[in-house]
Chain A
Amino acid sequence: MALSGTARNELKRLLGPRGVVDSPIGRLAYESDGLALIHQAPEIVLLPRNTAECAGAMSVLASEGVPVVGRGAGTGLSGGATPVEGGALIATARMRDVLELNVVDRYARVQAGVVNVDLTQMCAEHGLFYAPDPSSQQACTIGGNVGENSGGPHCFKYGATTRHVLGLVIVRADGSILDLSEPQYEPQGYDLIGTFVGSEGTLGIATEVTVRLTQKPAAIETLLAVFPSLDGACDATSDLIAARIEPSAIEILDKLTIEAVEASVFRAGYPKDAEAVLLVEAEGSEVEVASTVRDVTRIARARGAIEVRSARSDSERKKLWAGRKGAFGAMGRIAPDLYVADVCVPRTRLKELVRETTRIAKEKGLKLANVFHAGDGNLHPNISYDRRNPDEVERVLTAGREIMALCVAAGGSLTGEHGVGLEKRDEMCLVFNDDDLRAMTLVREAWDPERRLNPGKLLPIRGCREARGAHAPSVGHGR
């Protein structure tokens, strides 16, 4: 399985000297993604500049039978881009070109390595934007967003990445190119694009993505509702959903998060004495925004908000959002390491499950902060820890598993946007049984019969029945 000398030379010839990284130190830079608990240096890192180079490289790897992991910016939080032993890593860092911007038909065709926020900046002057806005948007790539079907605060209104992908060019495991780049509003035959988005690099490498661009709304208003308790903020969210109010984003930040943000460069002016804040945005026509704002204010107050204020200027609005989007980073600065869980729950049960996750962390002597996409029921319990402390690491991982089990038992799921990856692979058995997973495996094998793309991710390696018998080993013990 090891890569032969001939193959290495062939790859260097195809990609040029800057397109291949195989020195021990060079490879080390790619040994993990945002899930830093797991690391594994790749055998070789390949940096193609375009589809043809990627396909060429993939053919060589196919003939050598080498496993391949795709990587964008490596900001993923579930170990999706963690290399596999002896395998190649294909990274899109040199695929950053915008290939077409069509403002009339409102789409853009970009290389997979284009950074999320650059896309929005590029079309801003035309009154357009790219809707999915992960908090990591300053760094993460469109290809990575496609890999994970990423979300973000405004996906409450606009939907996650999959709703915004109109076309793809995919390099398949055998090196063949599947060109679906023509924008598709209705698939011809099976929906291959819809199946690919969120497949975490197990079905192919996307080299080009055609994305839908959205028109900027006529009016936007951002509200900050200040709560004396986290419960109140959760209840207000459940009430907003039950009352069928439709803002474009509903986010919650708790006290620990607020403290971290306010102590960082992302300082947003969140009140430090609040137990929680609800950050809500309304978009649309002036009338629509005004009426939504009125309802949100009423519901927040009814649930005990001590203050509901509205951003007075565009810069204040941006600041409020920069604080939210910088929250993980801010927390990362006060603790050496941060474990970000990503579970989804029915929105009727927010308060109860947020309480329970807090209890789980407390029991294990861990510090847990909440900052999450409340409107979508997508919790992010964030646990700070120090990875040099093996006992603490073990407690963090146990807490993570308990939180997942808790949410699944309450009708929730393992992941709302960060993907299954390596981290939640074995927990897939909490949600699905062997038959469900077999159906998924059949589809995977249709795309990649040898299962050489991102092996060991997303789908459990052993059957669930078997794994349940001999309790599944936990991932997360790097070196």
Chain B
Amino acid sequence: MNSGVLQALESSFGGDQLSASRLCGDGPELPLVTPNSREGILEALSVARRGGWSIVVTGLGSKLGWTRTARRADFLLSTRRHAGVVAYEPGDGTLTARAGTTLAELASHVASGGHGLTPDVPRPERATLGGVIGAAQSGSDRLRYGPLRDHVLGLEFALSDGTLAKCGGRLVKNVTGYDLQRLFCGSHGTLGVILEASLRLFPLPEEECSITAVASDNAQMLQLAGKVLAADARPISFSVARLDPPHAHAQWMFAVRLGGRREVVVAERAILSSIFPGALVQHGSEARSDAGALRDRGFGASDGPMLRVEIRPAQFAFALGVLDEWLRAPGASSEFRPRVWCEPGLGQIDVALLPRADLGDQAVKALAQLRSALAVKGGRVRLFNGPREFVHESHGAAPAGAQLMQSIRDRLDPARVLATGRFPEFP
């Protein structure tokens, strides 16, 4: 640990706000500062500026492996203790909270007024509001509610030069000023520190149920998935997991989560039961934990390496075909042993990879092949929590707009206080 950094932090923060952590499993230990106020966060930024140091902004640190590791990091700044609900307006369906509040706390707070929020993430007690926005995290409930960025109504943030600024507001509809909320969604702490956010809320379902069923092979799975998506129903989520190891007559397991007004759920359940005769139906909180349990069989709840294929939803079958073929090819099969988890309605396939420290050139090459095969229909591949070097290689060529992204970043953080190199898109 850099003793100069530690000293500087110690002179501003008490012991209860200072500890140590790592950016990634094999990285060096770094000082971690967890200020419990807006002023404390500004002070941490000022310490970094004065020392010419570079920091990585985090919540509870669960998504640090989602992008490349920072090129340089002298200490970590966490907003986890800048927490608490600022305003919940049950009559207006909006919520404003500080960045460090966990999604679990927020969900239980707004449930009192009959509201719920998106995204439904695997471990909501480990996800802070700031972190979820910074990483633009989606849950499987995206099928019903759409991506998080559609529901962030406003933000308060700190720029690295100490400027405290806000954008948007607390209203469900508003076009006053630039939509910086969207710019910050998915910026991974590279533009500023999110301090507070306002969200649009949803009605908590009056009734919930989950339907679990199996399919014997890819063909049957795709056929059934097509039926579910074409049905007159609006599931909260619809996921399919490949059983590993496969059962005698079942390779895939489905989980459809329904929720909403009671009579609507009853009608939708009847429709789905006709698609999956003999399916297991669970109600209420059991339904939620059922769908959750299936998700947790996948990568969802692990921090292990994961590959995500994203494609236009209608091209889901194409992507699965390409992926399966790729997984069988020698280059990939020697390096990966996958568990596959799909969201057919979102055009998303996640492959949980076996954690291996030594993914080599072979794997990098194999990944490049997968990427170009998917690109034919606009598909993409991203790697999460991968071995360090691998993540750097895995994102492919810089997208259009990389230069502009860089220049937005340079304007908002000219001194490069906030971690650089976290995006593969630009240096």
Contact residues of A with B, CB < 8 Å? 104-107, 148-149, 151, 155, 159-160, 162-163, 178-180, 182-183, 185-192, 194-195, 197-199, 218, 238, 241-242, 244, 246, 284-288, 291, 344-348, 373, 376-378, 411-420, 424, 428, 431-432, 435-440, 442-447, 458
**Do A188 and B380 have beta carbons less than 8 Å apart?**
yes
Residues of A within 8 A of B233 (CB): 285
Report whether A284 and B234 are in contact in the complex, using a CB–CB cutoff of 8 Å: yes
A413–B176 contact, CB under 8 A? yes
Contact A432 B177 (CB under 8 A): yes
Q: Does B248 touch A at the CB level, under 8 Å?
A: no
Task: Please name the 8 residue pairs, one residue from A and one from B, whose CB atoms are nearest each other, closest first.
Answer: A194-B182, A189-B425, A244-B203, A348-B91, A439-B165, A376-B173, A287-B267, A446-B408
Q: Which residue of B166, B232, B261, B400 has the most chain A CB atoms within 10 A of its CB atom?
A: B400
Residue of B nearest to A428 (CB): B177
Assess the A185–B402 pair: CB atoms within 8 A.
Answer: no
> CA A49 – CA B192 in complex, angstroms?
40
Complex Cα gap A179–B399 (Å) = 10
**Nearest neighbor of A289 in chain B, beta-carbon distance:** B264
A199 touches B178 (CB 8 A): yes
Given A190-B183, A287-B267: A440 and B232 interface contact (C-beta under 8 Å) = no
Query: B29-37, B311-319, B360-368: which one contacts chain A?
Result: B311-319
Residues of chain B at interface, number, CB under 8 A: 74
Contact between A191 and B182 (Cβ–Cβ < 8 Å)? Answer: yes
Would you call B261 and A288 a contact (CB within 8 A)? yes
Chain B nearest CB: distance from A286 CB in Å? 8
Residues 399-426 of chain B: 1 if any A CB is under 8 Å from the residue's CB, otherwise 0? 1111011011111100000000001011
CB contacts (< 8 Å) of B402 on chain A: these are 189
A149 lies within 8 A of B412 (CB):
no
Q: Told that A178-B401, A189-B402 touch, could you supply 18 new A-B pairs with CB distance under 8 A?
A: A180-B401, A192-B404, A194-B179, A195-B180, A242-B90, A242-B91, A284-B234, A285-B233, A288-B261, A346-B89, A346-B171, A424-B176, A436-B166, A436-B177, A438-B165, A439-B412, A446-B410, A458-B178
CA separation between A163 and B150, bound complex, in Å?
7
> Which of A183, A189, A238, A411 has the most B CB atoms < 10 Å from its CB?
A189
Give me the interface of B with A, judged by CB distance under 8 Å: 89-94, 114-115, 136, 138, 146-147, 149-150, 157, 159, 163-167, 169-180, 182-183, 185-187, 191-192, 203, 232-234, 260-261, 263-264, 267-268, 310, 312-315, 346-347, 378, 380, 399-402, 404-405, 407-412, 423, 425-426
CB of A151 within 8 A of CB of B173, answer: yes
Q: Residue on A with the closest CB to B154?
A: A413
| Residue in chain A with minimal CB distance to B402 | A189
For B405, list chain A residues within 8 Å (CB).
189-190, 192
* CB-defined contacts of A241 to chain B, threshold 8 Å: 91-93
Distance (whole angstroms) from the CB of B364 to the closest CB of chain A: 19
Q: Within the assembled complex, what's the spacing in Å between the Cα atoms of A381 and B278?
A: 57
A110 to B310, CA, bound (A): 24
Residues of B close to A442: CB separation below 8 A: 411-412
Whole-angstrom CA separation of A346 from B114 in the bound complex: 18
Report the minimal beta-carbon distance from A354 to chain B, rounded to whole angstroms: 16
Q: Which residues of B contact A346 (CB under 8 A)?
A: 89, 91-92, 94, 170-171
The prevalent SS among residues of B at the interface is loop
Chain A nearest Cβ from B26, distance in angstroms: 26
| CB proximity of B51 to chain A, nearest CB, Å | 24
A443 to B412, CA, bound (A): 7
Distance in angstroms between the alpha carbons of A346 and B159 in the assembled complex: 29
By a CB distance below 8 angstroms, the chain A residues around B136 are 186-187, 191
Q: Is the CB of B312 within 8 A of A162?
A: no
B412 x A162 contact (CB < 8 A): no
Instruction: Give the docked Cα–Cα distance between A439 and B404 (Å).
Output: 16
The contact of A420 among B115, B176, B426, by CB within 8 Å, is B176
- Point out the residue from A149, A180, A244, A444 that lies within 8 Å of B175, measured CB to CB: A149
With a cutoff of 8 Å between Cβ atoms, the chain A residues found around residue B94 in the complex are 346
For B187, the chain A residues whose CB sits under 8 A away are 190
Q: Which of A148, A189, A431 contacts B426 (CB 8 A)?
A: A189
On chain B, the residues within 8 Å of A444 by CB distance are 178
Closest A-chain residue to B231, C-beta based? A285
Check A187 against B378 for contact (C-beta < 8 Å): no
**CA–CA, A286 and B313, complex, Å:** 25
The answer to whether A287 and B167 touch (CB under 8 A), given A188-B399, A417-B175, is no
Is B91's CB under 8 angstroms from A378's CB?
no
Q: What's the minimum C-beta distance from A133 to chain B, rounded to whole angstroms?
A: 14
Cα separation A218 to B380 with both chains bound (whole Å): 33
A163, closest chain B residue (CB):
B150
Check B401 against A105 for contact (C-beta < 8 Å).
Answer: no
**Shortest Cβ distance from A204 into B: residue:** B404
With a cutoff of 8 Å between Cβ atoms, the chain B residues found around residue A376 in the complex are 172-173
Given contacts A241-B93, A244-B115, whether A183 and B169 have CB atoms under 8 Å apart is no
A188 to B347, CA, bound (A): 16
Tell whether, in the assembled complex, residue A411 and residue B263 are in contact, meaning their CB atoms are under 8 Å apart.
Answer: no
| A contact residues around B167 at 8 Å (CB) | 436, 439-440
Chain B residues within 8 Å of A163, by CB: 146, 150
Among B264, B268, B412, max chain A CB count under 10 A is at B264
Residues of B near A344 (CB, < 8 A) are: 171, 173-174
The distance in angstroms between the C-alpha atoms of A415 and B319, with both chains bound, is 42
Assess whether A438 is in contact with B163, with CB atoms less than 8 Å apart: yes
Smallest beta-carbon distance B348→chain A, Å:
9
Question: Closest residue to B407 on the A side, CB-wise?
Answer: A446
- CA A424 – CA B185 in complex, angstroms? 27
- On chain A, the residues within 8 Å of B178 by CB distance are 195, 198-199, 440, 443-444, 458
Within 8 Å CB of A345, what residues of B? 171
- Do B89 and A348 touch (CB < 8 A)? yes
CB distance from A425 to the nearest CB of B (A): 11
- Among B166, B172, B186, B405, max chain A CB count under 10 A is at B172
Decide: A377 and B412 in contact? CB cutoff 8 A. no
Residues on B with beta carbons closer than 8 Å to the beta carbon of A183: 312, 378
Chain A residues within an 8 Å CB radius of B183 = 190-191, 194-195, 443
Nearest Cβ in chain A — how far from B196, in angstroms? 13
What residues of B have a CB within 8 angstroms of the CB of A238 in the complex? 91
Contact between A287 and B264 (Cβ–Cβ < 8 Å)? Answer: yes
Q: Within the complex, which residue of A288, A418, A440 is in contact with B180, where a contact is CB–CB below 8 Å?
A: A440
